[in-house]
Amino acid sequence: MQATIPHAATERLTRPRTSEHGDAGGRTSADADSAEGRHGARPYFILKRALDLTVAGLFLVGLLPVLLMIALALRLNPGGPVLFRQYRVGQHGRPFQMLKFRTMVADRRARAGPPPPGVDDRRRVHKSPGDPRVTRPGRFLRRSCLDELPQLWNVLKGEMSLVGPRPELPEIVALYQPWQHARHAVNPGLTGWWQINRDDTRLMHQQTELDIYYVEHQSLKLDLVILLRTMGVLIRGLGAF
């Protein structure tokens, strides 16, 4: 099921921002004032942070045996470390190291030379299907989304939230138009509005519109809806957020 954004909302989101004086992450003063004015003092953010800490803490403790088994499997599989660390752009354009279980061969750029066909489409779509650099255990981890579990640590540290826009690569954010930086008004999330409305044919700017739709309509109710629908996606085995 795909999300439907009202025409007026889409028109507003795709209209360039009037202020172009942003910080290192491209966050404009207009975006900052708008986000902080709407949401800064809301009890919602206190409840959201409490939910993040509670769920992330319980999952990390409860899934510890699973985490250890995955770590052992990756250690026994030659090709690199257990964890993959990559800089992503967080709230207010601040970079942070996002954690994942490694699903590809280490030093893949050095080993493989140029990216295989289709990988350059990363700037258009979120994932590159059929990437030959993905390891055998990595395919299972991606399909089940278990590769994302280490990001619960990012949630505990306050760098991410359970629900929010997907954290993007700095080199892609550098290509953003001013209006797209509005997605950085809140913490990025493990899951979000566009992830549960995923469409492999949707272009990156269309995904950004879904992220900004979440920023402008976020609420505890919407967060719970997204979390419940995410569980449905995981149970159906669609994975690969």
Pairing of strands 83-89, 95-101: antiparallel
Domain span at 150: 7-109+136-236
CA-wise closest residue to 58 among 165, 149, 191: 149
Residue 61 falls inside a structural domain: yes
Q: Which amino acid belongs to residue 230? A: T
In a domain, 210, yes or no: yes
Average pLDDT, the chain: 78
Neighbours of 89 (CB within 10 A): 28
Is 214 a member of any domain? yes
Identify the residue whose tokens are 């409860």: 62
Which helix (H) or strand (E) element contains residue 170?
Answer: helix 170-173
Look at residue 12 and tell me whether its pLDDT is greater than 70: no
Spatial separation of the C-alpha atoms in residues 48 and 55, rounded to whole Å: 11
Decide if 58 is inside a domain: yes
Q: What is the mean pLDDT of residues 12-34?
A: 42
Binned at pLDDT 50, 70 and 90, residue 106 comes out as confident
Stronger pLDDT, 34 or 54, i.e. the higher one: 54
User: Does any domain span residue 129?
Assistant: no
Query: Does residue 241 belong to any structural domain of this protein?
Result: no
Residue 221 located in a structural domain:
yes
φ, ψ (nearest 5 deg) of residue 89 = -95, 125
- pLDDT band, very low/low/confident/very high, at 182 (cuts 50, 70, 90): very high
Burial of 22 (0-12, 13-18, 19+ CB in 10 A): buried
| Count of structural domains, the chain | 1
81 within a domain of the structure (yes/no): yes
- Phi and psi at 2, nearest 5°, equal -95, 150
